[in-house]
Amino acid sequence: MNLTDYVRQISREDFGKEFRHQAYWNHRLTTTGGRFFPKDGHLDFNPRYYEADLVLFRKIVRHELCHYHLYFEKKGYRHKDRDFKELLKAVDGVRYAPPLPAFDTVDYLYRCQQCAQVYPRKRRVNTAKYRCGKCRGLLVSIDKRNQSLG
């Protein structure tokens, strides 16, 4: 079953209404579970929530379907509206998606030659230009996979 069919099934089961648009995976979403686009009616979902917890993902789908159905019924579809809050509570959707565990985003490690201070970084550092923040010593790049932080 693809994502759009899954959303249609939840819409029929939990709302008794048809979902007539498309649902897509959006791998660029990081802190949100899903999005509703009123302009064309489609829904975007974060696949990491689906992989992490299927029960939570179903509640996120309900949340986005609340926006969807209320918008097309010309009722209050925004988070602050009473219609939205009541429908969300009635279908047992989540108000906010809880944060997912973060990925290990450290790609580069640098160590000071004088004081051995370690600097984990996402981006490469120009060691000819930058120095240690503690002692102004020279920084050297260390291999993240083979060195320990201690």
To the query of whether residue 64 is one of the catalytic residues in this protein, the response is yes
Which residue of the set 13, 18, 51, 64 is catalytic? 64
Annotated binding residue 67: yes
| CA pair distance 104, 48, nearest whole angstrom | 15
Annotated binding residue 79: no
Going across the sheet that includes 34-36, the strands are 23-25, 43-45, 34-36
Measured over the CA atoms of residue 76, residue 82, residue 84 and residue 86, the dihedral's sign is negative
| CA pair distance 130, 125, nearest whole angstrom | 7
Lookup: tokens for 48: 């990491």
Q: Which residues are catalytic?
A: 64
Residue numbers in the known binding site for Zn(2+) are 63, 67
Report the binding-site residues.
63, 67
